[in-house]
Amino acid sequence: MNCELMDLRVNGDERGKLVAVEKGVNCPFEVKRAFYIFGTKDKARRGCHANRKSQFLFIALKGSCRVEFSDGNAEESVLLDSPTKALWLDKMIWKEMFDFSEDAVLLVLSSEKYDAGEYIRSREEFLKAKEAKK
């Protein structure tokens, strides 16, 4: 699957730590959009969609959450619990985020600006789109 759980390069000195993200540094794409998810209710699931164009980089800045994702064949599950870990997901991967800790702040960086039209929000439609590409 086109995905990678990465250990981020951390700049640390006597003052503390800093992580920078740009294309080629801790991230394989040019970042055009950032959003973050917080105050997530217990048992809530976010995501539950695939994107025709957008790649994503997920970083749990605080707390933790789980990300489950699938390319239509394989399925994987990753726990994000450190601001020094990032999960990269390519376009056309179904993803669901859940098990958010109460204090979780999940930063999401994307290769594309927001366009609701490139979201596939039905799993059936996602699998059909995958089949069509084979």
Q: Interface residues with ligand TYD (CB under 6 A)? A: 33, 35, 46-47, 49, 114
What is the smallest separation between the CB atom of 120 and ligand TYD, expressed in angstroms?
Answer: 11
Residue nearest to ligand TYD (CB): 46
Q: Which of 125, 115, 65, 126 is nearest to 93 (CA)?
A: 126
Amino acid at 40: T
CB atoms inside a 10 Å sphere around CB 19? 16
Name the residue nearer to ligand TYD (CB basis): 17 or 91.
91
Give the span between the Cα atoms of 87 and 64, in whole angstroms: 13
What is the smallest separation between the CB atom of 33 and ligand TYD, expressed in angstroms?
Answer: 6
**Is position 49 annotated as part of the catalytic site?**
yes
Token pair listed for 107: 């930063």
Residues identified as active-site:
49
